[in-house]
Structure 1
């Protein structure tokens, strides 16, 4: 019989409660929840899941806004031996239908705002559905359940990724992989004495999930204030009201905060920001550190690496880097043939360790192409310096080849972001008969600022090599973003497709 592995995430949650005891740990929309309430509700929910037929290894969809029920559901699902299958709430019906059928989920926990969409997508499927505020109470009425045995290499989470570049694929992550990544991230955070954080990230994304798991490793009583979704004005009010010290963010969130009248709020309690999910432009990092009086610490990873590969710390950081690889992650930089490159040379970032995914769900061929000889090929370009700091240059698939020269979109975006009127910039390649690809971009301006595309082209031309600067810059009301705040490059490419030019 399988025993409870030492890296079982249900066990990790129980150990955290036993270690830290009862205290006010989570604030959400006017109400505090204690650690005891969260623990007891999760043990009952685990019993409820079992009573409704959920068995070890079953996939359970969690499709909610950021609410306390997410914290409870994750703990309960792991406790029941099932597999957390988070779904971002900004899904179309066909996208959601694909996830439901592909995962073979047997149960789902849903926010009431999403119930109509979910039921339409799940039509004809045998999925026990529990809607918060409706029949979800049936789960929490269950008898408290013990921890269902699972091995360390059993699947703990199935995360769907890649929806902006094609049909979403399921990434299988193990208990140990997520445990190790969470532990590594918590150890990096140990250099700070911050204990009061604001969580605006979608907890259904890999970044948000690993932040939750990281907190379970802490030996300090961490207090979290949860936003239902990111609202920059509300974020500022919550920091001032609760004297919060830190917040994990993605770069576009930082950009939106910088566009707010942040000087109207007392933000003196802030000490640091964590930045992940996408590469942080240097200009935005510098502006955030100056505006909020914080140290911005970057981390790096991908869903397939259990979210975290490297992270900066307050005692070990370097401008432009994403920190050093954490102890659980071995990093190599390789060329197209798979040969390891010397220090300082750009190549594909590969990682090996217990955090590497178990594979892609129902896709052994893609798994074999992505994980070779134990090494996960991330598809990202970067290098290591002589002191072991990792630098991420760009995504391989986003590379623009103009007239035989390589152009990394990030270089162009960083140049455009130096303009005081530009809040967000996105650069892509557009098919071109003369050069193969042409460099084009869109920008979103700081509220109240005005500048046209021609001026921005000239601005970039003075900062970039001749082959790099964008030949078209379009000013938009809003640059397309994904549901987790990353630039949606597919949508940008569609906007700037040949025959759809706008030289404004």
Structure 2
């Protein structure tokens, strides 16, 4: 039982590859042995503070080596990692702390005020851990220094098996309060292994990681690293900024990077041709659909690179399908990874043939067993033993998956279905458009009317009428937007996805 867990897998990786410079962060290289040693000592320190196997520990940090050390320490101690994006509000953090039943929080100094404010309203949290922290008598619970808690002798790995929880992640809460998604050691071990098999490329060993490690996509990349067949070097960014990303790709001769579509669109506003990006072979794009025009422009301007789209959700460990290296099908999110089944279903739950749009349903060893303490929601999400993703898409004759849109984002205009992504892709084809977001606006005659928010490229000019005419020439009469609003920037969620919730709120407020 004790052999099948993430901490044991990390030990096997260290034994296989030995110690080498594996992580670069803000000018400093960390060796794999140093990271493992710090994790082992922190695990013993957590146990010494009374944290027990199965306890939940919330991690609220921007990217840094301490995030990875904490994850590994938690798994060694048998603790359940509960990652939270540092951009969450105090109220959102308070909800996660209370709902998860967390016993501790690991954070950094800049987020201590928010963490202390949230902890003060939640029973059960016993201490807060932060690098360089000093105990604050006014804090609601003791604030301990990360280094001091790690200054202990390494301990043994706690016995945890396949079905024991390794992580508890919280969804974005677009339909109410965020829900906990429990993932076991078996879930994450399978996801890491399947991801490595699907995306492996011999000699592509230098990776730039700007994604938040607290997100499901970032956690998948972390778990993929536990299965590499040759030593890999990761350059970690605290957070994404386009100029910094370009500098790191050039200076470290990076082979591959993981991005989300909004990051690619920000890079397109940079002078890409002025940088030496010739070592960059593959960019993986996920978390939300990538506009075709953005993909084409990025590949045209960075001639060495191919963009590979993939697909997953928090409930599936962020892994469902991917385009294997050298087998990319443009516009598709790839084929289901080995061991994952995808079925396209109609409204009655009946399987649809290839080429027909329906809800994407998934079955794999990476899928959660159910939402945390939410049996009613679990029953509908996992009906008939399949995860119902809420996404609309289809499979082609060769088994490649195409994601059309979110089911809940569908606009019904005069009885006709309009998928926002179809409209957004057309607007993105206009040379002046940097980003577009489309939502339904209540309409007394048609039920809903198509409305678009658009941000323009720096120095570009287009009027709302220009963009309406552009869309009208390329879309059916029931699809093109009757109103286009040009805004300074399109709102994004904390993980870089288009924030339709805020767009809808703006429409409702009027």
Q: Same fold (TM over 0.5)?
A: yes
> C-alpha displacement at 1:425, in angstroms?
0.8
Looking at structure 1, the residues matched to 448 and 188 of structure 2 have their Cα atoms a distance apart, in angstroms, of 39
The residue aligned with 1:83 is 80
The residue aligned with 1:414 is 425
Q: For residues 207-250 of structure 1, what are the alpha-carbon distances to aligned partners after superposition, in whole Å with 9 as ceiling and x for unaligned?
A: 00000110110011111111111111111111111111111000
> C-alpha displacement at 1:5, in angstroms?
4.5
Residue 93, structure 1, aligned to residue 104, structure 2: no
Which of 249, 253, 269 is equivalent to 2:259? 249
Looking at structure 1, the residues matched to 418 and 31 of structure 2 have their Cα atoms a distance apart, in angstroms, of 51
Q: For residues 427-465 of structure 1, what are the alpha-carbon distances to aligned partners after superposition, in whole Å with 9 as ceiling and x for unaligned?
A: 111111111111111111111212221211111111111
Which of 416, 427, 432 is equivalent to 2:438? 427
Looking at structure 2, the residues matched to 193 and 164 of structure 1 have their Cα atoms a distance apart, in angstroms, of 40
Which of 118, 122, 126 is equivalent to 2:119? 122
Looking at structure 1, the residues matched to 47 and 504 of structure 2 have their Cα atoms a distance apart, in angstroms, of 46
Q: For residues 53-80 of structure 1, what are the alpha-carbon distances to aligned partners after superposition, in whole Å with 9 as ceiling and x for unaligned?
A: 1111100111100000011111110111
8 Å CA contact 2:257–2:283 kept in 1: the answer is yes
The residue aligned with 2:211 is 201
The residue aligned with 1:68 is 65
Looking at structure 2, the residues matched to 163 and 291 of structure 1 have their Cα atoms a distance apart, in angstroms, of 37
The residue aligned with 2:310 is 299
The residue aligned with 1:447 is 458
The residue aligned with 2:506 is 495
Looking at structure 1, the residues matched to 463 and 86 of structure 2 have their Cα atoms a distance apart, in angstroms, of 35
TM-score, structure 2 length as denominator?
0.96
The residue aligned with 1:213 is 223
SS at match of 1:360: coil
Residue 362, structure 1, aligned to residue 373, structure 2: yes
Looking at structure 2, the residues matched to 63 and 14 of structure 1 have their Cα atoms a distance apart, in angstroms, of 25
8 Å CA contact 1:328–1:355 kept in 2: the answer is no
8 Å CA contact 1:382–1:393 kept in 2: the answer is yes
Looking at structure 1, the residues matched to 175 and 255 of structure 2 have their Cα atoms a distance apart, in angstroms, of 36
The residue aligned with 2:140 is none
SS at match of 1:497: helix
Looking at structure 2, the residues matched to 192 and 321 of structure 1 have their Cα atoms a distance apart, in angstroms, of 24
> C-alpha displacement at 1:143, in angstroms?
2.0
SS at match of 1:317: coil
> C-alpha displacement at 1:375, in angstroms?
0.6
The residue aligned with 1:470 is 481
Superposed, 1:137-216 pairs within 5 Å as 137-191=147-201, 193-216=203-226
Q: For residues 264-321 of structure 1, what are the alpha-carbon distances to aligned partners after superposition, in whole Å with 9 as ceiling and x for unaligned?
A: 2111111110000001111111111111121000110100011100000123221111
Residue 312, structure 1, aligned to residue 323, structure 2: yes
The residue aligned with 2:106 is 109
Which of 285, 307, 312 is equivalent to 1:275? 285
Q: For residues 377-403 of structure 1, what are the alpha-carbon distances to aligned partners after superposition, in whole Å with 9 as ceiling and x for unaligned?
A: 000111111111111111100011100
Looking at structure 1, the residues matched to 296 and 202 of structure 2 have their Cα atoms a distance apart, in angstroms, of 20
Q: For residues 176-204 of structure 1, what are the alpha-carbon distances to aligned partners after superposition, in whole Å with 9 as ceiling and x for unaligned?
A: 11111111111112245311011100000
Q: For residues 341-365 of structure 1, what are the alpha-carbon distances to aligned partners after superposition, in whole Å with 9 as ceiling and x for unaligned?
A: 1111111111112111121111011
Looking at structure 1, the residues matched to 173 and 88 of structure 2 have their Cα atoms a distance apart, in angstroms, of 10
Superposed, 1:7-46 pairs within 5 Å as 8-46=5-43
Cα RMSD (Å): 1.1
8 Å CA contact 1:181–1:328 kept in 2: the answer is no
SS at match of 2:94: helix
Looking at structure 2, the residues matched to 486 and 193 of structure 1 have their Cα atoms a distance apart, in angstroms, of 31
Residue 374, structure 1, aligned to residue 372, structure 2: no
Looking at structure 2, the residues matched to 208 and 240 of structure 1 have their Cα atoms a distance apart, in angstroms, of 22
The residue aligned with 2:470 is 459
Looking at structure 2, the residues matched to 119 and 88 of structure 1 have their Cα atoms a distance apart, in angstroms, of 16
8 Å CA contact 2:101–2:124 kept in 1: the answer is no
Looking at structure 2, the residues matched to 371 and 171 of structure 1 have their Cα atoms a distance apart, in angstroms, of 13
The residue aligned with 1:482 is 493
Looking at structure 2, the residues matched to 285 and 324 of structure 1 have their Cα atoms a distance apart, in angstroms, of 19
TM-score, structure 1 length as denominator?
0.97
Moved more, 195-204 or 353-362: 353-362
